Structure 1
Amino acid sequence: MTIPLLNVEYAQTGTSTKQNNMGMREMQARAFAKRQAQYLLLKAPPASGKSRALMFLALDKLNNQGLKKAVIAVPEMSIGGSFADTDLRCFGFFADWRVKPENNLCVSDGLDDKGKVAAFCRFMRGDDEVLVCTHATLRFAFDEIGNAAAFDHTLVAVDEFHHVSADENNRLGGLMDTLMQQSAAHIVAMTGSYFRGDAVPILTEEDEAKFEKVTYTYYEQLNGYQYLKSLGLGYHFYQGRYLDALGEVLDPAKKTIIHIPNVNSGEAAVDKYSAVGHIIDILGEEVGRDEATGIITIKTHAGGYLKIADLVDDHPLVRPKVQAYLRGVKEREDMDIIIALGMAKEGFDWPFCEHVLTIGYRSSMTEVVQIIGRATRDCPGKSHAQFTNLIAQPEAADEDVKVSVNNLLKAITLSLLMEQVLAPNITFRRRSDVGKGEVLPAGTVVVDDTVVPVSAKVVEILNGDSTEIIAALTQDQQAQRGYVNVEMPSETVNEVRLPQIVAHRYPDLNADERQQVSDGILTIMTANSGGGLIDGRSLPENAQIEGERRFVEQGGLFVDIETLSADEQANVQPEKIVREHELPAGAEIVHPKTGEKSIAGNTQFVRLGEKFINIEKLNVDLIRAVNPFAQAYEILSKNVDSALLKAIQNYVDAGRISMSEDEAVMLWPRIKTFVQTNGREPSKNAADIMEKRMAEALIYIRNKKAESLSKGGV
């Protein structure tokens, strides 16, 4: 049973792969514009060209900014090939990228850890300019050198920066902190997935504030491709062993990376070597292994031939040969299927890959996003990329369905997060920062700061960190249970848990700023769950628009029909009526009685159900009531039987969020308004879930008050 949770189509504009007169892609040029920054944080998706961007930055710092050395650290040796010698002058840049073989410690043969540390120290003492190594080698060598000042004229570039964290036990994070505190080193940090699965911040807030940031979104990357048109995300449930279901989702005609489950996981049916053998048997019959490359050739059941790379085999005489072959793959026919366990994820480059098939749930959101990135590289002949997660069908009859339920929630979480990540970018601007008559680009949300001030910090967080906050929210178990629990209004999570997450991430924000960030995040999630922000000129002809105004043109100005007298309204010809979303950009609106003029507002809309609402008229209470999990949960619900669905609901109900003091405080103003409006208290037996929750809050408040009085409190 396959459940397609997400399918996104793109415009194929070609902008993200088109080069400028210096040979830079769009993202690379954006990063190069910040080349003078001592600390630069580059957040960009897989395949956007981060390695090449770093080459441009490093060469400029070495040639034009007085730096003497550049150290590039990658998480694993296989990624070191991305920094091999590269000709750049032929595309218009002022220098080529060169790394001496003895200074690329990721591809140097015969060196153990001690030998690599010795080579690093030799490099730091010598005159060579560029060295490539692993994160581990950088850590060990830094300890060996023992003096941060030795890096004063050095660029330290850390690829896949999400491996760093502010946790005191994270040695790479400690190294970065020491460099920033005790040296004049320059740092370039690069990542395609800036959120960590363990929810620990990558940098302390004080350190992160020192970084210039360059953000290039997944949407910008994929929408600007030339060949790739769409990306799909789906789940395939199986019963029994995954090996028996593999044939249902494995298409030998598609260039595929298969990630088998860890041997200690519940999905593992056999040991890792047997798993590879079973996969080969499913595809066909092995007919040979190349001794020089380690590549396996099989004859398929249909009579064709496939080249298989086995990265599961970790024999020291086999894996290096396979890795070397994969680094040299240039043509589509050079490789067909790669089987891996812990490899072929972040930084792995095989542009022809069109299907990533992952067996078993992955607990780390970062890992999943990195896996998806293996298939989202643009190349001729590839119009669709697909991520498929082959997972065990939960059994409702199991005594303990906790694991199954948690795994289903992970599926929903991933679907929701990717829906947010793959949507067009939404940018926030304060009204006070918008010039008179300025025409704002598509995807801009204007934040009204004329009554309540909105700080630049709030806008910076919304524009730079929204994905990370959404990831933290969707991975939070309290939030997940709250969204799935049909007995609990979404406001409970949106008005309590989300602000708590924001407060934890940004402790320097005041209460108003925390709420502004929370409301901005909910605005993004609400917009993207309905298809993103929609330009008024792109609305369906018979679109139902909530509270839309109607205008008539008079002398080049537009007048709201509602401001006309009854006689004037009666004389307006229907064909002369201009609906609000049809107003031209920058249209001037005049009040016929006062003569007051204004410029037409934002004509971008959010879809909620069957109605469209202007983004500037989107009610705060409305966005707080939206359940971002609803659509994905509904899709899953339709594809599991009623017994399993009831088991899920029972589990969620059993662990439902209990009433907290924060939630009770949040609900108290609503309770008072309810009593004033209805002349009675909310009932815990009400059909309306919000009234029921207010009644529970009232009980909680009274119990707390009784406890206080019994203890002699006030």
Structure 2
Amino acid sequence: MNRSLNVVDLTYARTSASVNTDAMGMREMQQRVFAKRDAQHLLVKAPPASGKSRALMFVALDKLYNQGRKKVIVAVPERSIGASFSPTKLTAHGFFADWEIKDEHNLCNPGSSQGKVDAFIEFLEGTDATLVCTHATLRFAFEKIAPESFNGTVLAIDEFHHVSADTEANRLGALLRDVMNGSNVHIVAMTGSYFRGDSVPVLSTEDEAKFTPVTFNYYDQLNGYEHLKSLGIGHHFYQGRYTDAIGEVLDLDKKTIVHIPNVNSGESTKDKIEEVGFIIDSIGEVVGTEDTGIILIRRTDTDKVLRVADLVDDADQVKRAQTLHYLSTVASKDPGGVDIIVALGMAKEGFDWPFAEHALTVGYRASLTEVIQIIGRVTRDSPGKEHAQFTNLIAEPDASQGEVKVSVNNMLKAITASLLMEQVLAQNFTFKTKRNDDDATEPGTIKIKGFKEPSTVRVKQIVETDLNDLKATILQDDTFAKAAAGSVDPEVTNKVLIPKIIRERYPDLDDSQVEEVRQQVVVDSVIKNSQVRDVGDKRFIRMAEKFVNIDDISINLIDSVNPFQRAFEVMSKSVTPTVLKIISDAITATRVEITAEEAFALFPKIQNWAKVNGRKPDTRSDDPTEKRYAEALLFLQKKKQQHLAEQRATQMAEES
């Protein structure tokens, strides 16, 4: 039984398009952003290493020199990321001005919070034009100034997914809303994550409508690299302690970041220092430690000495600071600087190690933002690096343990999240309605019978810029997570559960718009999760266990497919029959309760099933579909009985 399995295998063309620059020194993504430089509120979604920091510099300088803005404030989530906005000679590459930051206005340098707040306020009152600070400094300073203090400024917020529309719980979100409503501020919001990782949106619908979006997706970025050719996303399942299994997937020939589990998670042994010791033992024998904190370990299988950085042990803060400084100044530029980094809560967002090839992550990560950030550490282009790999080490459910349901749920969600990552990282398609008099189809376009194309600007905006966020919302919904495992009829999943979630996320949409968005989500998900084969001059796509000519697909056929059923198929191929039975039993025990919407949607199928089989479906059947049909029929019968009883009661009341 193969306990390691890649769910996603993607190959890219290496066109160099995303890394080449134009006459002004701009990459492809930066050109797209600069084209929208006149927008008052700009929202940039682009992957790690695509050049968001420099894109901000280009736009900010144009706003200072050509749009009448007086100051630029750049806010980053943590001090280390502030280095991305250091002084930069843009004129050397053809731009009209350089990015300058005075030392006293780099508030990411060491210093007290109060001192930085004072420096922030002095900057607003002074004549200098640019400042870099942390999100925290921005929040603390805002407590002492009014929103109108931001008149005439450009406020750039890096890693924008830290903002939340929940203004009571998220102070940065409240600040943003107050500044937008109380000043003429220009905002440039940037994020390398396509999701917040929870169910709270980054912006309210009303505030988001004020932003001009620029999206540069992962496929654009990776397909346009010079060196990186392929990416794999997979899982390795283990029983017992992860420290006994990690040696099976830790490839010592690959530059690797190992993310150990949070001490509060089920995978943790509760002793993080001991866990690092186990990982070191699986590598070999320690032969020394440098002043930088780098541990030298002689491999067990060869005489080669590996250089390992421990970012888990935080007892000696001076030593940790030395290690981080070494990683950012030496190891980020020298391929021989470090071989393996072991981290807990670090080496993710904004961490730059372009030589990293393998991200080995222990335990399920509930945050999709965290997953995309971890993957982003290994998808940077680097000479000699042709393949990048993300491996999630996941605990198998054990019938002797009490948390079987939790383990099953974690496995399903981890694999389903990988399928979502596949959609983020794969080529995008344009979907159109197929008509009888259709001409030849353009490259990258798929025509579908009965498909409803976006009819309004609002739906087009959701489709073009928000589709992955919407899929993340759907996947993180507890009801849908159970349905994705196959315990609910695919058409109910697609036509009842998904529209319900769309209505909750976009209450401004009417029924026809909800249906247009629903079709886009389902079609995009099914197509990207399906296997495509070329046979001669025809293309076939695997749907509902059979291959269909891509020219013959219809919305009805697509709606008959569970877009994320492959999550369960992946587990079926990679665990033992005993474990698979535990998983199936746990899914059955936690299946979604019947709702009126689902029961009514299933009724035509129940009638057809009874006609074909010559009997009603049985709740005791081993067939999950028949059992679900029987449950729906019982629900409808009870509803009918209740309705008749209510009618009789009403009639009796009227007669009396």
- For the criterion TM > 0.5, the same-fold answer is yes
Q: Distance in 1 between matches of 2:454 and 2:17?
A: 37
2:227 is matched with: 227
Q: What residue is the counterpart of 1:586 in the other structure?
A: none
> Aligned in 2, Cα 1:681/1:164: closer, same or farther, shift over 3 Å?
farther
- For 1:412-451, what aligned pairs fall within 5 Å after superposition? 412-428=415-431, 441-445=442-446
Tell me if 1:103 matches 2:105: yes
Residue 82 of structure 1 is matched in structure 2 by: 84
- TM (norm. structure 2) is 0.91
Distance in 1, matches of 2:364 and 2:452, equals 47
**Which residues in structure 2 correspond to 1:385-424 (within 5 Å)?**
385-424=388-427
Segments of 4+ moved more than 4 angstroms: 428-432, 436-441, 445-453, 542-545, 605-610, 668-675, 677-682, 684-695
| Bigger Cα Rg | 1
Any residues of structure 2 matched to 1:175-194 within 5 Å, and which? Answer: 175-194=175-194
- 1:687-713: CA deviation from partner (whole Å, max 9, x where unpaired): 987676555434323312322443436
In structure 2, relative to structure 1, the CA distance for the partners of 1:461 and 1:696 (3 Å cut) is: same
Superposition deviation, residue 187 in structure 1: 0.8
Q: CA deviation at 1:29?
A: 0.7
Inter-CA distance 373–679: structure 2 relative to 1 (3 Å threshold)? closer
Unaligned runs of 5+ in 1: 546-604
Structure 1 residue 363 and structure 2 residue 366: aligned? yes
Q: Within 5 Å, give how 1:177-576 maps onto structure 2.
A: 177-291=177-291, 293-301=292-300, 302-314=302-314, 315-329=316-330, 330-428=333-431, 441-445=442-446, 454-486=455-487, 488-531=488-531, 539-541=534-536
Which letter does structure 1 place at the counterpart of 2:560? Answer: A
- Secondary structure, counterpart of 1:317 in structure 2: helix
1:655-674 per-position Cα deviation (integer Å, ceiling 9, x unaligned): 21111122234345666788
**Post-superposition offset of 1:405:** 0.5
Equivalent pairs counted in the alignment come to: 640
Deviation track 1:475-521 (CA, whole Å, cap 9, x = no partner) reads: 222222223245x3211211111001110111011112112211111
Which position in structure 1 is the counterpart of 2:550?
614
Query: Amino acid of the residue matched to residue 331 of structure 1?
Result: D
**Deviation, structure 1 residue 472:** 1.7
- Within the candidate set 656, 674, 682, 2:591 is matched to 656
- 1:622-651 per-position Cα deviation (integer Å, ceiling 9, x unaligned): 111112223232121122122221221111
Q: Residue 238 of structure 2 contacts residue 245 of structure 2 at CA under 8 Å; is this kept in 1?
A: yes
| Separation in 1, partners of 2:326, 2:384 | 22
Measure the CA separation in 2 of the matches of 1:690 and 1:393: 26
Supply the distance in 2 between the matched residues of 1:649 and 1:633 (Cα, whole angstroms): 9
- TM-aligned CA deviation for residue 449 of structure 1: 9.7
Q: Is the aligned partner of 1:642 residue 2:577?
A: yes
* Structure-2 change in CA distance of 1:672 and 1:485 (3 Å): closer
Listed one character per residue, the Cα deviations across residues 200-246 of structure 1 (whole Å, up to 9, x for unaligned) are 11110000011000111111111111100111112122333222222
Give me the TM-score of the superposition, normalised by structure 1.
0.83
SS of equivalent to 1:4:
strand
Do 1:309 and 1:335's aligned partners in 2 also have CA atoms closer than 8 Å?
Answer: yes
Does structure 1 conserve the Cα–Cα contact (< 8 Å) formed by 2:45 and 2:193?
A: yes
Distance in 1 of aligned mates of 2:608 and 2:468: 35
Amino acid corresponding to residue 64 of structure 1 in structure 2:
N
| SS class of match (1:318) | helix
- The SS at the match of 1:263 is coil
Report the AA paired with residue 319 of structure 1. R
Q: In structure 2, which of residues 55, 70, 74 is the aligned counterpart of residue 68 of structure 1?
A: 70
Deviation at 1:199, TM superposition (A): 0.9
Native 8 Å contact 2:529 2:564 kept in 1: no
Q: Deviations over 1:543-574 (max 9, x none)?
A: 586xxxxxxxxxxxxxxxxxxxxxxxxxxxxx
Considering Cα pairs closer than 8 Å and 6+ residues apart, tell me whether 1 or 2 has the greater RCO: 2
Report the residue type matching 2:480 in the other structure.
Answer: A
- How far the C-alpha of 1:451 sits from its partner, in A, is 9.4
Report the CA distance shift for 1:118/1:312 in structure 2 as closer, same or farther (over 3 A): farther
d(CA) in 2 for partners of 1:69, 1:696: 64
Seen in structure 2, the aligned counterparts of structure 1 residues 429 and 81 have a Cα distance that, compared at 3 Å, is farther
Alpha-carbon distance between aligned partners in 1 of 2:285 and 2:21, rounded to the nearest angstrom: 44
Percent identity of the aligned residues?
A: 51
Report how far residue 682 of structure 1 moved.
5.5
Are 2:434 and 2:450, in contact at CA under 8 Å, matched by a contact in 1?
yes
Cα distance in structure 2, aligned partners of 1:441 and 1:85 = 45
**Partner deviation per Cα, 1:93-149 (whole Å, 9 max, x = no partner):** 11122222222222x12x12222222222222222222212111111111122x011
Distance 1:12 1:666, change over 3 A: same
- Counterpart amino acid of 2:152? H
Residue identity matched to 2:404:
V
CA contact (8 A) 1:490 1:626 kept: yes
Work out the CA distance in 1 between the residues paired with 2:525 and 2:629.
25
Is the contact made by 2:452 and 2:519 (CA closer than 8 Å) also made in structure 1? no
Deviation at 1:412, TM superposition (A): 1.9
User: Could you say which residue in structure 2 is the equivalent of 1:580?
Assistant: none
Shift of residue 150, structure 1, vs aligned partner: 0.5
Moved more, 305-314 or 654-663: 305-314
Task: Give, in angstroms, the shift of residue 443 of structure 1.
Answer: 2.3
CA distance in 2, matches of 1:531, 1:20: 37
For 1:348 and 1:234, the matched residues in 2 are separated by: 22
1:290 Cα deviation from its structure 2 partner: 3.6
The separation in 2 between residues aligned to 1:130 and 1:297, in whole angstroms, is 42
Shift in alpha-carbon separation, 1:409–1:68, aligned structure 2, 3 A: same
Which amino acid letter does the alignment assign opposite residue 254 of structure 1?
A: K
Alignment partners' CA distance in 2, 1:657 and 1:452:
31
Name the aligned partner's letter for residue 153 of structure 2: T
